[in-house]
């Protein structure tokens, strides 16, 4: 399992990191937090893409 930061996911999806953090806050991308930091697994990113893009 690979774990991404919002900045890494933003780069993959060609959006801003603040967009990824907003999607996490709105519970549109499943994530976990380490303190104040969002982390997104490759499985959760794939699920988000499957549900919203393909």
- Domain at 22, CATH number: 1.10.1660.10
Taking the C-alpha atoms of residue 45 and residue 37, their distance in angstroms, rounded to an integer, is 16
15 confidence band (pLDDT: 50, 70, 90):
very high
How much is the average pLDDT of 20-46? 97
Exposed/middle/buried for residue 17 (C-beta within 10 Å: 0-12, 13-18, 19+): middle
The pLDDT score that the predictor gives to residue 22 is 98
DSSP string, 30-50: --EEETTEEEEEHHHHHHHHH
Inter-residue contact 37 to 3 (CB < 8 Å): no
Question: Using CA atoms, how far apart are residues 54 and 39, in angstroms rounded to an integer?
Answer: 23
Q: What is the mean pLDDT of residues 3-22?
A: 98
Mean pLDDT calculated for residue range 26-46? 97
**pLDDT given for residue 35 in this prediction:** 96
Q: What is the pLDDT of residue 53?
A: 84
Total domains in the chain come to 1
């Amino acid at each position: 399992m690979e774990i991404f930061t919002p900045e890494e996911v933003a780069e993959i999806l060609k959006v801003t990191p603040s967009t990824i953090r907003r999607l996490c806050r709105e519970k549109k991308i499943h994530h976990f937090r380490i303190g104040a930091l969002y982390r997104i697994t490759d499985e959760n990113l794939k699920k988000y893409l499957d549900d919203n893009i393909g």
